[in-house]
């Protein structure tokens, strides 16, 4: 029996669906909801406005504890993604995904450590991954040992409860739940990740840029300063230029290759 069930929530559609599923399963098994904790790794200005408030509201809908964590440098000082990019002089890419490891995984793991200190026991670590999102996620199992977090006195398993769900199923579940989703989806965004994700197709970057012009300018400024393009073969400044030229958002011609 797991002492803690930690549901990682970005505030996005898959997170909120996984959360609802976990609550349903726990309720059916008689597992008290005070053992479920919703963990949000806050990206600050790099995430869509209202994300943290929505993630908290989704947790509160089920009466669950909500915990927020942020990335910290080796001195314990909170640090944004753009600050890290400036220091490194390069954007993250598929081979160096420090945006995920530093901004999400490490803060999320700290939450597990914090909860374990409160009350020792094994942990079920829930993530709303779906196989159809990317080839990498398609390789994930339903239940996997988390070797990073497992220690002699604690076993941690990753659980991906909606790994085999389709996007259609996710949206049907959200509609049935009555719990609101983020307005970014109504704007045409297929995912709620960083506002400007290094894996996003051009159409998603265009939508994000049109609705977040000040943040886009900050990304352009960093890109110019470090002399390294946001994506391989595509600068973030080219997105700004396309928007300024009145270019229409095209077909969503690619998936996040996470």
What's the pLDDT at 107? 96
What's the pLDDT at 252? 80
Closest CA to 105 of 160, 43, 176, 25: 43
DSSP track, 170-204 = HHHHHHHHT----TTTTTT-S--SBSS-TT--HHH
Closest CA to 45 of 208, 216, 215, 187: 215
Give the residue numbers spanning the domain of 238.
Answer: 186-244
What's the pLDDT at 76? 87
What's the pLDDT at 251? 81
The count of domains in the chain is: 2
54 & 149 share domain: yes
The structure's pTM equals 0.94
Asked whether residue 10 is domain-assigned, the answer is yes
Q: Is 208 exposed, middle or buried (0-12, 13-18, 19+ CB in 10 A)?
A: buried
199 & 223 share domain: yes
Dist CA 129 CA 15 (whole Å): 8
35 & 131 share domain: yes
190 & 133 share domain: no
Of 113, 146, 170, the position where a domain reaches its end is 170
R_g of the chain, CA atoms, integer Å: 19
What's the pLDDT at 254? 58
Q: Which residues pair with 5 in a beta bridge?
A: 36, 124
Backbone φ, ψ for residue 2 (5° rounding): -85, 135
Of 140, 170, 200, the position where a domain reaches its end is 170
| Domain CATH number, residue 107 | 3.40.50.620
pLDDT in tens, the chain (258 residues): 899 999 999 999 999 999 999 999 999 999 999 999 999 999 999 999 999 999 999 999 999 999 999 999 888 899 999 999 999 999 999 899 999 999 999 999 999 999 999 999 999 999 999 999 888 888 999 999 999 999 999 999 999 999 999 999 999 999 999 999 999 999 999 999 899 999 999 999 999 999 999 999 999 999 999 999 999 999 999 999 999 999 999 888 656 666
Helical packing angle, 13-29 and 51-61, nearest 10°: 20
In order of 103, 141, 211, 218, the CA distances from 224 in angstroms are 23, 41, 21, 10
Q: Which residues pair with 159 in a beta bridge?
A: 126, 143
In order of 128, 142, 162, 189, the CA distances from 38 in angstroms are 12, 19, 16, 24
Asked whether residue 258 is domain-assigned, the answer is no
31 & 136 share domain: yes
* 154 contacts 6 by C-beta, under 8 angstroms: no
């Amino acid at each position: 029996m797991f002492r803690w069930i930690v549901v990682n929530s970005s505030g996005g559609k898959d997170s909120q669906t996984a959360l609802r599923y976990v609550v349903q399963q726990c309720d059916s098994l008689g597992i008290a909801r005070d053992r479920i904790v919703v963990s949000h790794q806050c990206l600050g200005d790099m995430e869509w406005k209202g994300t943290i408030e929505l993630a908290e509201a989704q947790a509160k809908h089920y009466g669950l504890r909500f915990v927020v964590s942020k990335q910290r440098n080796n001195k314990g000082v909170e640090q944004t993604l753009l600050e890290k990019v400036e220091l490194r002089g390069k954007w993250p890419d598929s081979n160096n995904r420090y945006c995920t490891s530093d901004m999400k995984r490490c803060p999320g793991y700290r939450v597990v450590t914090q909860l374990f200190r409160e009350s020792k026991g094994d942990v079920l670590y829930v993530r709303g991954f779906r196989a159809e999102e990317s080839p990498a996620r398609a390789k994930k199992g339903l239940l996997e040992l988390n070797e990073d977090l497992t220690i002699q006195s604690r076993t941690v398993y990753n659980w991906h409860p909606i790994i085999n769900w389709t996007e259609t199923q996710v949206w049907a579940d959200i509609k049935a739940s009555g719990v609101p989703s983020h307005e970014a989806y109504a704007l045409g965004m297929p995912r709620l990740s960083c506002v400007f994700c290094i894996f996003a197709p051009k159409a998603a970057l265009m939508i994000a840029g049109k609705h977040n012009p000040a943040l886009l300018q900050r990304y352009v400024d960093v890109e110019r300063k470090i002399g390294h393009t946001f994506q391989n073969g595509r600068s973030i400044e080219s997105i700004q230029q396309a928007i300024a030229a009145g270019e229409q958002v095209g077909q969503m011609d690619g998936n996040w290759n996470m």
